[in-house]
Amino acid sequence: MIIVESLSRSEIKEEGMYIYSYRMTKGNITLSTEDSSIEVQSYGIEVERQDLLNGVVVNIERDSLKSISPQRHKVHNLLRVLYEGKVSPIHFIDIIGEHVDSYIEDFEDNFYSIATN
């Protein structure tokens, strides 16, 4: 997995400071049928929150999804939604779930496009 884009922000609260990181990742996924298999490039997202108290990391929350779509622009747009919405790792899947469900077709389209060429 390679990080291809990263966005960060911080919040100061009474309990300390939160540092949020939103990362687009790139990897590969193997798609298979009975007759063949093809390796397809895939983009995912990782969201992390570090909790700092007096400058010391006291907690880290992280969640990720490795394979959202083979189309970078779609994953980039999701990354922006998470960043602009200040979404925590705890709510990450709740927010992107419907999008991810619809993007699964991108892998099938990509597979059949490669397989027929």
Say how many CA atoms lie within 13 Å of 3 toward its Cβ.
9
pLDDT at 109: 66
Query: Could you write out the three-class secondary structure of 48-84?
Result: EEEEEECCEEEEEEEEEEEEEECCHHHHHHHHHHHHH
Domain-wise residue ranges, the chain: 2-115
pLDDT band at 39 (very low <50, low <70, confident <90, very high): confident
Q: Which residue has the higher pLDDT, 59 or 100?
A: 59
Tens-place pLDDT, residues 62-106: 999 999 999 999 999 999 999 999 999 999 999 998 888 888 777
pLDDT at 113: 60
Provide the percentage of residues in the chain whose pLDDT is more than 70: 91
pLDDT at 30: 87
Q: What is the pTM of this model?
A: 0.86
